[in-house]
Structure 1
Amino acid sequence: MQFKEMLHSKADAFLSNYYYDSDIAWVELATFEAFVAVRDDKTTDQVKLFGDNLQVLEQNLPVDNVYKSKDVTAAPIRVIQLLYNAEDVKGPQTVAFNLPNDERIVKDRGTSMVMLKNVSEAKFKHILQPISDVCITKEQQKLVDFDSFFTHTICHECCHGIGPHTIILPNGQKSTDLLPKSLLKSMYVSFLAQKGQALQFNWLYEKGAFILHPDETFSVDFAKVEGAVESLSREILTIQARGDKEAASLLLKKHCKMSEPLKIALQKLENIQVPVDIVPTFPIADKILQQGH
């Protein structure tokens, strides 16, 4: 597969809105974006249980069994330490990828799931930690740690491979305790500090899972958060499985709003000027490139 052929395939897809062939071309292309990295075999071994237990995760999704897949296959996860990136990935810095997303290609050729650990560490240090310092109560700040942040990212990537993929419309047309309890608590608090999406924030706040205190800091009510997350997941997964556009629009209209608690949190971030993203430098790679000239 030549780069020129891939570009022509992408151009055709933009016009036809049919991306199957262009996604195949992307998979077969050597690269049009590049990550140079060192394998982190120790961390890779530590996260292996996630990829090996996707079927268990699928069976425990809070959605009707009719929407669950019976043949989820194990997905290999590779953790790397980034040394250099180039071309299409020079913009927003990804912490992981599990591509492609087209279910037909996933079925025939599988996916590539890679976690960029040192990029995650940098985002945690320069973005999530400052958010936690001003938005989370002192008592729960100790629960905001890198392991929970990294685990949340792994779960996010694993979820690309589970849950409803092929939507069955009304007309019939097709369009268990893996984590320790201590880590679950840290993940919930890190989730509160990390996620600013109005839908998730407002839903969990309205369910009493997030508590706003007089000093304008937040905490997680561990007695309520699991049920609140489950109810939101069930709502979204069911809407997705049914392809119910009207229900999706109503959900967004009701919860995607600038509520007062959300406004308070965002104003705090504005006051301390939390960066939107990191801009990594690669001194080793830069030195090698300079020597080449």
Structure 2
Amino acid sequence: MKTTTTNGLTIAPDIAQRTAQLPRTVIDYDRSLLNDNERQVVAKLIEASKLIDEIFWRQVSEDNPALRDRLAKENSPAYDYFVKNKGPWGRLKDDAPFIGTKRKPPGAAFYPEDMTNEEFEKYIGEHPDKKDELQGLFTIVKRDGPAFVGVPYSAFYRDFLQPAAARLREAAALTTNDSLKKFLNSRADAFLSDNYRDSDMAWMDLNGPIEVVIGPYEVYEDNLFNYKASFESFVTVVDGPESAKLGAYAHALPDMERNLPEPEQYKNLNRGTESPIRVVQQIYSAGDARRGVQTAAFNLPNDEWVREKKGSKKVLIKNVMNAKFRQSGRPIALRVLDLSLINFLTFDAYFNHTLFHELSHGLGPGFITQPNGERVEVRIPLKNLYSTIEECKADVLGVWNLLYAQQRGLVTSFDDRQLLATYAGLMFRSTRFGVGEAHGRGTAVQWNWLREHNAIGPVAGKKFGVDFTKMRDGIRDLATELLTIEATGDYNRANALLEKYGKETDEMRAVNAILKDIPVDIWPVFPAAGEQ
């Protein structure tokens, strides 16, 4: 396919079609859930979030701000898609460039562009005293002559973090909710110190209608090592009655851990037992939370130290989930599944699988002991493969744990056939994200594994049927493999699994071809922030 040139910039000719894959979708919330004072607090949080957004632009590429300004000034046809991807690389096409020809550096802007992973690891091996500084979540790696140095986020992004901290303190001064006041002041301090643990602990204790996440969390953008955290923000309002209905699931987490299909010595029964579940309506998002495919749920904090002390919180963004299911999830399943399975499709199964996906992030190995006796988080030995393995694990354990919850009578609103059919039908929603993205590649592993085990198979009319018995067996066996990889930190075993199963097959490409007219995801428009 030929490219086009606009004002000296080479732009993919199908830019309009790509932009349409992420249609603008209004995401609004029930205004009655907040009073006037709380809406003033939210306004300050949105101001802080916009500053956080600017940081993430620069974490993707230091060239982003200048190119964004140029595209806007020239009224470029690529501007909208550039904004949706937070850069010139297509997140739905394995980060292939749609402006120019430069490939995206695997380490984004977290490391020197010309640095190799071998060079980095060799330097750390020769300078073990620099390991924490260079591998830390909250540092940018720069060259200093022949050496590498880790520049703290608080220094590198000070021009944005100082005013963001000020907005958080202003919001804290406005709120009458003590738990929110404590979190916002603590997080403002963290922006300037890079010590996020106290504010993570305070976030776990939030108790009120405003649920806000703001700071550096996920490591997906660092495709070199998965070491570096990206800045993001979610400003949401809690749906109290919906949240209360799901609270009972959290009490079953220790039993779910004991029920995992892995050897007893790998079971992690020492994590914190707190596991609040919040169903929310999104008001605004920014940074890593607003690029490419939109987040429908999350499980934070990621810090295993906090998880062992306190636990983790699961947040489901119901207005976003509804939009995704309506615009792409259900239409895809209707095209992919055999007619006999269509009546099993249900939003409730999709919603609960998403919840149990997040619950499952908090299950399984957390810290592991390496052969040299060092105790580290699982992400360290699995390096660049960690995000994909972990997302795949959460998907698979989400099904496994839901089947267990159904057997226990904890989940009764849909049966196992509805769960397994909905899960199978919606897999192509995720594979369309691209196998260069953790969720997309993790889903490819699941599809190809279950196809090999004859749990899913082609039927007449180029659609797919489900063998429910083989599906349960396939889920169990894949769960065991993923849990073993994490428990042992076996990079080679993880790589072998992903090389064999984590790829787009000819069959998958053929299915994706018949889905082209269905949106891949949504692009949120937030009226509460004045967007139209």
Give structure 1 stretches of 5+ with no counterpart.
Answer: none
1:19 pairs with one of 137, 140, 143: 137
1:220 pairs with one of 466, 486, 505: 466
CA distance in 1, matches of 2:526, 2:502: 38
1:123-202 equivalences in 2 (<5 Å): 123-175=324-376, 176=404, 177=407, 178-180=410-412, 182-195=414-427, 196=431, 197-202=443-448
The answer to which of 32-41 and 89-98 deviates more is 32-41
CA distance in 2, matches of 1:35, 1:153: 17
Q: Secondary structure at the match of 1:114?
A: strand
CA distance in 2, matches of 1:127, 1:276: 6
Please state how far the C-alpha of 1:109 moved relative to its aligned partner: 4.7
Give structure 2 stretches of 5+ with no counterpart.
Answer: 1-47, 60-109, 112-132, 139-193, 204-211, 216-231, 377-403, 432-442
Please state how far the C-alpha of 1:185 moved relative to its aligned partner: 1.9
TM-score, normalisation: structure 2: 0.48
Which structure's CA Rg is the greater one?
A: 2
Please state how far the C-alpha of 1:187 moved relative to its aligned partner: 2.0
Please state how far the C-alpha of 1:174 moved relative to its aligned partner: 2.3
Please state how far the C-alpha of 1:75 moved relative to its aligned partner: 0.4
Please state how far the C-alpha of 1:191 moved relative to its aligned partner: 1.6
Please state how far the C-alpha of 1:87 moved relative to its aligned partner: 3.0
Please state how far the C-alpha of 1:136 moved relative to its aligned partner: 0.7
CA distance in 2, matches of 1:38, 1:109: 23
Instruction: Tell me whether 1:41 sits opposite 2:240 in the alignment.
Output: yes
User: What residue is the counterpart of 1:53 in the other structure?
Assistant: 252
CA distance in 2, matches of 1:115, 1:258: 29
Please state how far the C-alpha of 1:54 moved relative to its aligned partner: 0.8
Q: Secondary structure at the match of 2:367?
A: coil
What whole-Å deviation, never above 9, does each CA across 1:72-125 have from its counterpart, x for those lacking one? Answer: 41401011122x204323324211121121201222354332111111111011
Q: What root-mean-square deviation, in Å, do the aligned CA atoms of Structure 1 and Structure 2 show? A: 2.9
User: What residue is the counterpart of 1:81 in the other structure?
Assistant: 281
What whole-Å deviation, never above 9, does each CA across 1:229-254 have from its counterpart, x for those lacking one? Answer: 00000011101110111111111122
CA distance in 2, matches of 1:148, 1:26: 34
CA distance in 2, matches of 1:216, 1:26: 51
Q: Secondary structure at the match of 2:314?
A: strand
Alignment check: 8 A CA contact 1:132 1:193 kept: yes
TM-score, normalisation: structure 1: 0.84
Alignment check: 8 A CA contact 1:135 1:218 kept: yes
Alignment check: 8 A CA contact 1:23 1:100 kept: no
Please state how far the C-alpha of 1:255 moved relative to its aligned partner: 1.5
Change in 2 beyond 3 A, CA 1:244/1:39: same
Please state how far the C-alpha of 1:34 moved relative to its aligned partner: 4.7
1:71 pairs with one of 242, 263, 270: 270
Q: Secondary structure at the match of 1:162?
A: coil
Please state how far the C-alpha of 1:158 moved relative to its aligned partner: 0.4
Instruction: Tell me whether 1:210 sits opposite 2:383 in the alignment.
Output: no
Change in 2 beyond 3 A, CA 1:284/1:100: closer
Q: Secondary structure at the match of 1:167?
A: strand
CA distance in 1, matches of 2:476, 2:362: 19
Change in 2 beyond 3 A, CA 1:243/1:284: closer
Count of aligned residue pairs for this structure pair: 278
Alignment check: 8 A CA contact 2:344 2:422 kept: yes
Alignment check: 8 A CA contact 1:211 1:219 kept: yes
CA distance in 2, matches of 1:156, 1:44: 16
